[in-house]
Amino acid sequence: MGSTVEGPQGVIPARLLHGQKALVTGANSGIGKATAIGLGRAGADVVVNYVAGREAAEEVVEEIASFGVRAAAYEADVSQEDQVTAMMDRMVKEFGTVDILVANAGLQRDARLTEMTLAQWQKVIDVNLTGQFLCAREAAKEFRRRGVVPEVSRAAGKIICMSSVHQIIPWSGHVNYASSKGGVQMMMQTLAQELAPEKIRVNAVAPGAIKTPINRAAWETAEARQDLLRLIPYDRIGDPEDIANAVVALSSDLMDYVVGTTLYVDGGMTLFPGFATGG
């Protein structure tokens, strides 16, 4: 596998994804940022998508470029069809193709049911679910056009959907978010079934509680952290690099036979920790 580069959470083989082109949406913050950097460490050229915050996106590009691979920041709102198609066209023109899509962009607009506006519901569905659909559709067209290039990868393309433990854990006060991730699960499985004969691998990563701006309130104070840790058997809150490492592995040929699977990266959050002492 060639030399290795020390990552913040372990060791990523530096040539694991050599010659591959990756697009990560929402890559100027949190999990998307760590994932874009992880893919770059693994030797992929990376497009860093962002919707706001060009400076932060350029910083990610700079860090990725320091690994000796190519990187660029593309602005696009993943919920807008014309912006997604333009982004994919640009990537094919400037990078030649796309081998890995990490459909990561996502947001929350929390409210209890009777206080939730239609706009809050719609925004979350538009970005978290429709955004992944649009990016997956455009990536699949390019994977099909190009087909398998054996020197690059055994697959014609890889799509990793960023889901959440809330694709299976109901979440009071977050019906829009939980519904969007439940939708991502079924979308991912359906696309995996539909595209597998074309050697396109579709999978998901489902993070548990990861320290990022999206859930700052859940880990910022000692009290909130204690509350959160009660839900995590492994007894630590996750770091963005925990998710990045999983995405790098899942998108590599090490996982070539993994199709239509959700990899939970959650410190055991989905193990019904309440039953550890009761039941």
Applying the rule CB under 6 A, the residues between 82 and 121 that interact with ligand NAD are 104-107
Query: Least distance to ligand NAD from the beta carbon of 221, Å?
Result: 16
Applying the rule CB under 6 A, the residues between 205 and 224 that interact with ligand NAD are 207, 209-210, 212-215
54 CB neighbour count, 10 Å cutoff: 11
Establish if 30 lies at the interface with ligand NAD (CB under 6 A): yes
Establish if 78 lies at the interface with ligand NAD (CB under 6 A): yes
Q: Are 153 and 163 in contact (CB under 8 A)?
A: no
Distant-in-sequence contacts of 59-63, Cβ < 8 A, 24+ apart? 59/28, 60/27, 60/28, 60/33, 60/36, 63/37
For CA atoms 266, 268, 272, 277, the dihedral sign is negative
Of 74, 177, 234, 257, the active-site residue reads 177
Establish if 188 lies at the interface with ligand NAD (CB under 6 A): no
Please count the residues of this chain forming the interface with ligand NAD, following the rule CB under 6 A.
29
- CB nearer ligand NAD, residue 26 or residue 40: 26
DSSP class of residue 238 equals B
Applying the rule CB under 6 A, the residues between 150 and 169 that interact with ligand NAD are 162, 164
- CB nearer ligand NAD, residue 153 or residue 167: 167
In the chain, % helix, strand, coil (3-state, to 5) comes to 45, 20, 35
* CA–CA dist 209, 216 (Å, integer): 10
Judge whether 50 counts as a catalytic residue: no
**With the CA atoms of 193, 196, 201 and 203 taken in that order, what torsion angle do they form, in degrees rounded to the nearest 10?**
10
Establish if 51 lies at the interface with ligand NAD (CB under 6 A): yes
What does the binding site for ligand NAD look like in residue numbers (CB under 6 A)?
25-26, 28-32, 49-52, 77-79, 104-107, 127, 131, 162, 164, 207, 209-210, 212-215
The residues carrying an active-site annotation are 177
